[in-house]
Structure formats: structure tokens, C-alpha cells
């Protein structure tokens, strides 16, 4: 497949960070081959007699697809569900009264449809790669295949894992499913799917499970994807049981490193942040979820200053990375009571750090930039800038304009998944009819 995107405002990002007015991008297979002005690139294509699909990007910003470094596809069917009893009054109660009972009753079909819906929302919001963290206690063996099937059907690039915990089967089945899935990836070399070893959190895994998970990660040369210090309860549990804080426990056991992802880090102290820096461990910030669970704010400004690689995820709250980025920007200013902060940092987490994290934890290849040799994950957003737009003020347009603009076209791995706001080859209505049916049944079992 050859695609020529022409006449758009191309925002390359990356080191060069150029904005090309009346720009064009030429894609061959799953990679970007040429980037330049429409005049240059269109002429080259014609000279090479390259028969290709032409996408007119007039009135649109053409930029790299966005990345979500922490998602929970399985959370979909909880949308709109009534939870019996008094509202949960803290984080642990939210887990005990909503997420744990929910993941205990998800069946095979629920998991598949739970995944299809947010994956479609990824396409609609220009999110082209996700790192997902799955849990389904009653249906673990084979669950990652359901996610992979859905991701393939929709076309989103995904790194999958199962959050192993002692809540069910002392982690045995979770370890088994992780090994089954990781071993299946070894011979496939897919550029669209990869895996990690997932753990729920420090407070739900004992040392035995933790050690086995680390062994597994070593065996398949992948990292660990685990929630960390989301609530103070996680730290308190670790101090009580092991006499050390969560990050110290993880360091001592061998969880940390450039291939691993710690999620949240709301309650980390200075020393734990320093350990993340020393071990080059990735941290993923999820501000909307943290606000929703009322667990506090992770001081990502401090972590970034220390040199920790901090990315941005949604924790299953949504698949919209631009709104998550703006939330990260707003809450940082509010928390610090300083209107000078986060203007650079919030976009950096999304546009620079998320591609770096994916580069470290998956074998996918180069993402996050429109340059020759990068994977062809590209989005087109309807945007007629009301003020001059250039390299120096792009972030202003991003935070105050593009964040609310509509994604028109989404391309992943050189394949068009949505064009003119219409999904290609996906019957969204049929999928949502089925998903509502399954949700109704699930709610009656809850
Ligand atoms: Zn999460």
C-alpha cells in the first residue's frame, strides 16, 4: 500500500520539529518514506510513477499518531453501571466494590467486546498505540488472545499484559497466561502486537508471585508493567509487610529498569523518585484517573526535573490523549499554584516521552515523528488556525485549540483505519448493539 498525504500542515515533531505548510507525506508499506512540501513530494511520486492512494489534507494538521502508555480496555462495560450500596469512600473501596467484582465476572465475549469499543475510540481520537493492562479473574487463560483479536480487528498497535495478582489462584493462572502469550509472540515478530509481564500492584502480590513474575520477564526479555503508589495504602502495606517502601521493594526484587513501567507514583517520596532515575524506570502519569479516584497528584514536574522518563496514560478513563495532556497541564498548575509551570512538560510527556517509552518496552520500531524511516502512524486533525501557527507556538495551538479539534483520518502501520471521520471496514453500530446486550447481562450478574 502506498499513500500520499498532501496539502496539509505537517507537524513533524521529533528533533527537527518542523512545521511544513502545504506539506506532504509519502508512505510505503508500514513506514514513512518521504516528507516535504506538496510540490516536492507529489512531483517525486509522479516521477516514480508510484500508484498510490492520495489523501487531501487541506485544512488539516498532519501529525504523528498519539500513544497511550497505560490503558485498561477491560473497564468498558462498567460505563453507566449502578454500583449497589453507599458510594465507595476511598481507593481501596473503589477496587473492592467496583473493579474487583467486575473483573471477576467478565467472560470471554465480554473481554473481546470490552476491548473493541475503546479501540474504536482510540481510532476516533487519534490514539494509534496503546500499552494495555488487563484483568479478568474468572477468564484468565486465553484472555490476552481476545484483546489481541480485537486490536487486530480495529488495527491499533498494542502492547498487552495481564495484571497478575494473588487475589485469584495465588497468581498461578496469571503467570500461566502471561507465559502462554509471551511464548506465542516469540516466533511471530509482529510489528502490531507485543507483550509485557503485568502485575496488579505491590499490595496484591506476595514475594513468591513477584519473584516468579520477574523470572518470566527475564526469560522473555520484557519489562514489568505494574501500578505503584497509586494510593497511600500501597505504601503502608509495603512498609508493614516488608519494612520498605514500594519502589525499594521493587528495586530489591529486580522489577525496575528501562523496560519496566510503574503506573501512577502519586505517593512516591524523593528517594523513590531518585531510584526511578537511577534505574531508568519509566513512570506513567494518569491525572484524570487520579482525580476521579481522589488519590492525589503525582509530582511529575519534580520527577521530570530529576530526569525520570514520565509518560502519560488514561488508566482506562478514556482513549483521548490530547484531553489527558491538557488535564496534566491544568492539574500541575493548580497543584503548584504557579501559572508558569507545565506548559512544556505536559506536551513533552505525551509527544516525546510516550514514544520513547514504547521504544524501550516494545520491539515495534520508531514512533512519534513524521520523518523518513519512522512507522507510518499518522493522524489528520481538522484545524484552521485562527492565529499564526509555527514551530515556536505549536504547543499553544495544541493545548488551546487542537485539543478540542476533530480527528478526521487515522493511519496505523500504513493502513487507513478512519478517513473523513468514517471508520474503514468496521461496523461500529453492530459492535455497540452487541456490547449493550453484553453489558446488560453483565450488570445483572454484578
Ligand atoms: Zn491502571
**Ligand 1: centre distance to CA 227 (Å):** 6
- Phi, psi (deg, nearest 5) at residue 191: -90, 5
**Ligand 1: centre distance to CA 355 (Å):** 19
**Ligand 1: centre distance to CA 1 (Å):** 36
**Ligand 1: centre distance to CA 166 (Å):** 17
Q: Is the pLDDT of residue 57 over 90?
A: yes
Residues 117, 436: Cα–Cα separation, whole Å: 11
The set of cell numbers assigned to 238 is 509495603
**Ligand 1: centre distance to CA 94 (Å):** 13
**Ligand 1: centre distance to CA 72 (Å):** 6
To 10 degrees, what angle do helices 172-186 and 143-154 make? 40
**Ligand 1: centre distance to CA 247 (Å):** 17
Q: How many CB atoms lie within 10 A of CB 186?
A: 10
**Ligand 1: centre distance to CA 36 (Å):** 39
Q: Residues 85-113: what's their mean pLDDT?
A: 95
**Ligand 1: centre distance to CA 431 (Å):** 25
Predicted confidence at residue 47, as pLDDT, reads 72
Domains with residue ranges and CATH for the chain: 2-65+367-423 (2.30.40.10), 66-361 (3.20.20.140)
**Ligand 1: centre distance to CA 71 (Å):** 7
**Ligand 1: centre distance to CA 376 (Å):** 28
CB-based contacts of 429, cutoff 8 Å, min separation 6: none
Averaged pLDDT score across all residues of the chain: 96
| Residue 82 burial by Cβ neighbours in a 10 Å radius (0-12, 13-18, 19+) | exposed
Q: Residues 81-91: what's their mean pLDDT?
A: 93
Predicted confidence at residue 170, as pLDDT, reads 87
**Ligand 1: centre distance to CA 337 (Å):** 27
**Ligand 1: centre distance to CA 100 (Å):** 13
**Ligand 1: centre distance to CA 315 (Å):** 4
**Ligand 1: centre distance to CA 154 (Å):** 22
**343-355 pLDDT per residue, tens:** 999 999 999 999 9
Q: Name residue 202's beta-bridge partners.
A: none
Q: Residues 113-127: what's their mean pLDDT?
A: 98
Render 175-189 in DSSP notation, one character per residue: HHHHHHHHHHHHTT-
Task: Tell me the CA distances in angstroms from 218 to 135, 324, 325, 360, one per residue in order.
Answer: 22, 32, 33, 15
**Ligand 1: centre distance to CA 290 (Å):** 10
Render 66-114 in DSSP notation, one character per residue: EEEEEE-GGGGGGTTPPPPSSPP-SHHHHIIIIIHHHHHH--HHHHHHH
Predicted confidence at residue 109, as pLDDT, reads 98
Predicted confidence at residue 211, as pLDDT, reads 98
Q: Residues 355-366: what's their mean pLDDT?
A: 97
Q: Is the pLDDT of residue 4 over 70?
A: yes
**Ligand 1: centre distance to CA 316 (Å):** 7
**286-305 pLDDT per residue, tens:** 999 999 999 999 999 999 99
**363-416 pLDDT per residue, tens:** 999 999 999 999 999 999 999 999 999 999 999 999 999 999 999 999 999 999
**Ligand 1: centre distance to CA 441 (Å):** 25
CB-based contacts of 86, cutoff 8 Å, min separation 6: none
CA atoms in the 13 A half-sphere facing the CB of 122: 37
**Ligand 1: centre distance to CA 163 (Å):** 9
Residues 306, 281: Cα–Cα separation, whole Å: 12
Predicted confidence at residue 187, as pLDDT, reads 87
Predicted confidence at residue 298, as pLDDT, reads 98
**Ligand 1: centre distance to CA 142 (Å):** 21
CA atoms in the 13 A half-sphere facing the CB of 173: 14
* Contact between 106 and 139 (Cβ < 8 Å): yes
CA angle 272, 277, 282 (to 5 degrees): 90
CB-based contacts of 17, cutoff 8 Å, min separation 6: 391, 394
Residues 225, 195: Cα–Cα separation, whole Å: 10
**412-434 pLDDT per residue, tens:** 999 999 999 999 999 999 999 99
Residues 157, 136: Cα–Cα separation, whole Å: 21
**Ligand 1: centre distance to CA 62 (Å):** 30
**Ligand 1: centre distance to CA 226 (Å):** 8
**Ligand 1: centre distance to CA 52 (Å):** 41
**Ligand 1: centre distance to CA 82 (Å):** 21
**157-175 pLDDT per residue, tens:** 999 999 999 988 889 999 9
**Ligand 1: centre distance to CA 365 (Å):** 25
**Ligand 1: centre distance to CA 284 (Å):** 10
Residues with CB in 5 Å of ion ligand 1: 315
Residue 179's pLDDT band (cuts 50, 70, 90): very high
Predicted confidence at residue 50, as pLDDT, reads 65
**239-291 pLDDT per residue, tens:** 999 999 999 999 999 999 999 999 999 999 999 999 999 999 999 999 999 99
Kindly state the percentage of the chain with pLDDT values over 90: 94
**198-223 pLDDT per residue, tens:** 999 999 999 999 999 999 999 999 99
Residue 362's pLDDT band (cuts 50, 70, 90): very high
CB-based contacts of 432, cutoff 8 Å, min separation 6: 117
Report if pTM > 0.85: yes
**Ligand 1: centre distance to CA 131 (Å):** 11
CB-based contacts of 65, cutoff 8 Å, min separation 6: 126, 127, 128, 129, 367, 377, 378, 379, 410, 411, 412
**Ligand 1: centre distance to CA 132 (Å):** 9
**Ligand 1: centre distance to CA 434 (Å):** 26
**Ligand 1: centre distance to CA 319 (Å):** 13
Amino acid at each position: 500500500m502506498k499513500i500520499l498525504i498532501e496539502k496539509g500542515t505537517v507537524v513533524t515533531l521529533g528533533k527537527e520539529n518542523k512545521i511544513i505548510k502545504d506539506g506532504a507525506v509519502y508512505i510505503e508499506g508500514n513506514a514513512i518514506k518521504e516528507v516535504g512540501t506538496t510540490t516536492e513530494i507529489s512531483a517525486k511520486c509522479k516521477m516514480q510513477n508510484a500508484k498510490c492512494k492520495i489523501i487531501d489534507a487541506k485544512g488539516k494538521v498532519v501529525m504523528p499518531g498519539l500513544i497511550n502508555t497505560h490503558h485498561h480496555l477491560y473497564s468498558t462495560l462498567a460505563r453507566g453501571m449502578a454500583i449497589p450500596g453507599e458510594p465507595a469512600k476511598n481507593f481501596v473501596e473503589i477496587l473492592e466494590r467496583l473493579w474487583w467484582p467486575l473483573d471477576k465476572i467478565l467472560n470471554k465475549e465480554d473481554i473481546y467486546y470490552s476491548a473493541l469499543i475503546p479501540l474504536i475510540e482510540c481510532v476516533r481520537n487519534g490514539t494509534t498505540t496503546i500499552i494495555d493492562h488487563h484483568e479478568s479473574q474468572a477468564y484468565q487463560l486465553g484472555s490476552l488472545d481476545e484483546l489481541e483479536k480485537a486490536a487486530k480487528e480495529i488495527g491499533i498497535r498494542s502492547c498487552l499484559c495481564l495484571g497478575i495478582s494473588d487475589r485469584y489462584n495465588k497468581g498461578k493462572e496469571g503467570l500461566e497466561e502471561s507465559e502462554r502469550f509471551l511464548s506465542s509472540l516469540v516466533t511471530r515478530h509482529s510489528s502490531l502486537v507485543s507483550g509485557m509481564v503485568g502485575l496488579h500492584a505491590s499490595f496484591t502480590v506476595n514475594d513468591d508471585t513477584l519473584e516468579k513474575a520477574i523470572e518470566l520477564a527475564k526469560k522473555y526479555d520484557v519489562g514489568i508493567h505494574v501500578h505503584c503508589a497509586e494510593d497511600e495504602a500501597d505504601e503502608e502495606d509495603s512498609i508493614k509487610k516488608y519494612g520498605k517502601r514500594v519502589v525499594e521493594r521493587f528495586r530489591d526484587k529486580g522489577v525496575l529498569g528501562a523496560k519496566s513501567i510503574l503506573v501512577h507514583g502519586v505517593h512516591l517520596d524523593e528517594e523513590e523518585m531518585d531510584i526511578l532515575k537511577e534505574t531508568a524506570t519509566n513512570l506513567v502519569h494518569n491525572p484524570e484517573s487520579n482525580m476521579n479516584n481522589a488519590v492525589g497528584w503525582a509530582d511529575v514536574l519534580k520527577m521530570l526535573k530529576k530526569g525520570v522518563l514520565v509518560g502519560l496514560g488514561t488508566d482506562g478513563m478514556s482513549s483521548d490523549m490530547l484531553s489527558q495532556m491538557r488535564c496534566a497541564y491544568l492539574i500541575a498548575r493548580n497543584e503548584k499554584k504557579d501559572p508558569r509551570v507545565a506548559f512544556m512538560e505536559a506536551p513533552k510527556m505525551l509527544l516525546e516521552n510516550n514514544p520513547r517509552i514504547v521504544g524501550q518496552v516494545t520491539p515495534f520500531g520508531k514512533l512519534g515523528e513524521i520523518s523518513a524511516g519512522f512507522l507510518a502512524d499518522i493522524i489528520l486533525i481538522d484545524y484552521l488556525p485562527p492565529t499564526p501557527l509555527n514551530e515556536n507556538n505549536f504547543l499553544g495551538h495544541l493545548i488551546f485549540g487542537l485539543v478540542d479539534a476533530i480527528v478526521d483520518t487515522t493511519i496505523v502501520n500504513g493502513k487507513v483505519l478512519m478517513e473523513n471521520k468514517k471508520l474503514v471496514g468496521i461496523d461500529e453500530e453492530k459492535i455497540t448493539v452487541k456490547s449493550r446486550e453484553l453489558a446488560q447481562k453483565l450488570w445483572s450478574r454484578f
